[in-house]
Structure 1
Amino acid sequence: MIRTAHWLGYAGLIPFISLTLGMSLHPLTAVAFTTYSAVILSFLGGIHWGVALSKPQWSNPTRLCLCMLPSLLGWLALLLPMTGSLILLIGSYLSWWLWDRAQLIEPDYRRLRVQLTAVAVLCHLVWLVQT
């Protein structure tokens, strides 16, 4: 996997970490955190959508429908109260990580996803404890 993908992945953690560290600074920080989280969750589904469209053996209605699941769960999380939103987002990140692990076997991508998911989920857990 190209180095740029790693740097962009790690840079994507900056909002998670900074909003978690600044959670008590402004009332809209919680909205910013959950909104960013929903956007990133949607992006994870888009990765599978791209793979499904580029690999004929993966391009089937079931897989394409599953690719939409992170976007729908992220949107639903934005409609819930904060505690419910955080629980749904944590469960979605962990579930999608398991799906990634079962479907995408590239070792470098798997390693990166473990690291990124661990930090994102940890930030969500901090929010959950503080809520």
Structure 2
Amino acid sequence: MPYSALGLGIAGLIPFIAMPLAYQLNLLSISESATYFVQYSAVLLSFFGGVHWWDAISNQRYDKQMYIAMLPTIVGWLCLVFASDVKVLGVLSISYVAVLLYDKFTLSLPKDQIVSYIGLRMGLTTVAVISHAWMILILS
């Protein structure tokens, strides 16, 4: 796995950590923190659907994978529509885990690449899910 992927992945965690922390440090209101968190989470979830869109097109697999690739975007959009409900954070969190599992069993990468990609994603997804739980605790 290139170091740039690791660095960008870690940088992608900054909003997940910064938003609840900003609320706890009185830098943002609870409403601002939760709104920005959900917005970022929904956008990032949509990005993971793009991975499967690319995989389906580049490997000429125009089966269900191409359609399933749209689900993270649709779920992310619905979470933005219903952003005022704390359950949205649970839906987003579960969606990150579901996409990770789908990645593991669907992506057409060489074995060494899939192992490093899934390893990276597991670490990043773990932090993202913990951050979602942190926001749920703050909002509860």
Q: TM-score, normalised by structure 1?
A: 0.92
State how far apart, in whole Å, the 2-side matches of 1:89 and 1:23 are. Answer: 20
State how far apart, in whole Å, the 2-side matches of 1:7 and 1:82 are. Answer: 32
Of 77, 80, 98, 1:78 maps to 80
SS at 1:63 equivalent: helix
Alignment gaps of 5+ in structure 2:
none
> Residue 65 of structure 2 aligns with which residue?
63
Q: Deviations over 1:82-129 (max 9, x none)?
A: 312111101111111111121235111010000010000000001112
Alignment gaps of 5+ in structure 1:
none
Count of equivalent residues: 129
Q: Deviations over 1:6-49 (max 9, x none)?
A: 11111000111111211343231111100000000000110111
State how far apart, in whole Å, the 2-side matches of 1:86 and 1:45 are. Answer: 18
> Residue 22 of structure 1 aligns with which residue?
22
> Residue 90 of structure 1 aligns with which residue?
93
Runs of 4+ with deviation above 6 angstroms: none
Measure how far apart 1:66 and its partner are. 0.2
Q: Deviations over 1:31-84 (max 9, x none)?
A: 11000000000001101111111112xx21411110000000001111223312
State how far apart, in whole Å, the 1-side matches of 2:85 and 2:125 are. Answer: 20
SS at 2:23 equivalent: coil
State how far apart, in whole Å, the 1-side matches of 2:71 and 2:79 are. Answer: 12
Answer yes or no: is 1:47 the counterpart of 2:39.
no
State how far apart, in whole Å, the 2-side matches of 1:2 and 1:53 are. Answer: 23
Of 33, 36, 42, 1:32 maps to 36
SS at 1:98 equivalent: helix
State how far apart, in whole Å, the 2-side matches of 1:84 and 1:93 are. Answer: 14
Identical aligned residues as a percent: 40
Structure with the higher helix share, 1 or 2: 1
CA RMSD of superposed structures (Å): 1.3
> Residue 11 of structure 1 aligns with which residue?
11
